[in-house]
Amino acid sequence: MIFDTHAHYDDDAFDDDRDELLKSLRTEGIGNVVNIGSDVESSEATVHLAEKYPFVYGAVGVHPSSTGQLDEEGYMRLEELAKAPKIVAIGEIGLDYYWDEPERDKQQYWFRRQLGLARQLGLPVVIHSRDAARDTWEIMKDENAEQAGGVIHCFSYGKEMAREYLSMGFYLGIGGVLTFKNAKKLVETVSYAPLERLVLETDCPYLAPVPYRGKRNSSLYLPYVVEVLAHIKGKTCEEIVEITEQNARALYRLDEKEK
C-alpha cells in the first residue's frame, strides 16, 4: 500500500473533515502516514494523532521558520514528545533562507541542536532545506547526521546536491511537485537517483499534484505521483508502491519498532 512519509493532518485545513478523511485512507490504498511536526504545538498534536489512528506515526520537531519562537523550555518539551511510542523521527528541521526571518544563525543553532537530539535518541531526521543547500549539507556533515539517517523532504535541488545527500545514506522525499510542468530539474534528479532511495510524500495540505494543483492536498492524491514516477523509472505503478513502501519502512525503522 502507499506510504505517505510526510503529512500535516494537524493543520487547520483539515479541521472540518479530519477524522472522516483519515478513516477513509486505508480503503483507498493508503497504508501508513507519518504526520510531521513544525513547532512544539503541532508536535503535541502529532503525538495525539498517532495515538488515535493505528496507521499513523509521527515526527516531532521545529521547522526552521518557527525557530524564532523556540527556547530551552520548548526544546525540553520536544525531547519529551520524541519519546512517545509512535514517534519515529525528529522533524521537520533544517534551514529556510527564502525569507529573511528568523535570522540564519538562529536557524542554524536550532538545526544543530535538533540533529543532536536525533542522534541522542537514535531517531532519523526529516530535513527541510529551501534556498540553503550548501549550508544544510555542511551542517549535516559537521553534526554527523549520517549517524541518524533520514530523508531530505520535498527535494528541490539538482543531481549534484542529490549525490551528496545520497552519499550520506539519506532518502529523497518526492511529492506533487514531480507532476508540475516546470519540474524539469526534479525529473532529472529522480531519473538519476536509485529508486531504492526514494520515498513518497504529500506535504499536505500543501503541494497538491496535477490535476489538483492549488487545491488542498491529501494522501488520496499520491497515485498521481506514483503514475509519473513509474513512467520515469520504467516500472509499473504496483512496483513503485511496493518499493517506496519498503523504503519508507526502512527510513523510519518500523520493522524494528514493531517487533
* 242 contact partners, CB below 8 Å, separation of at least 6: none
Per residue in 57-110, pLDDT tens? 999 999 999 999 999 999 999 999 999 999 999 999 999 999 989 999 999 999
- Report the distance separating Cα 253 and Cα 119, nearest Å: 14
The answer to whether 129 and 108 are in contact (CB under 8 A) is no
Q: What is the mean pLDDT of residues 20-32?
A: 98
Query: What's this model's pTM, rounded to 2 decimal places?
Result: 0.97
> Please, are residues 90 and 118 in contact by the beta-carbon 8 Å criterion?
yes
Confidence (pLDDT) at 47 = 98
Distance separating the N- and C-terminal Cα atoms of the chain? 20
Q: Which domains does the chain have, with CATH numbers?
A: 2-257 (3.20.20.140)
**Edge-to-edge strand ranges of the sheet holding 198-200:** 2-7, 30-36, 56-60, 87-96, 125-130, 150-152, 171-174, 198-200
pLDDT tens column, 107-165 = 999 999 999 999 999 999 999 999 999 999 999 999 999 999 999 999 999 999 999 99
Place of cell 503525538: 47
Q: What is the pLDDT of residue 255?
A: 83
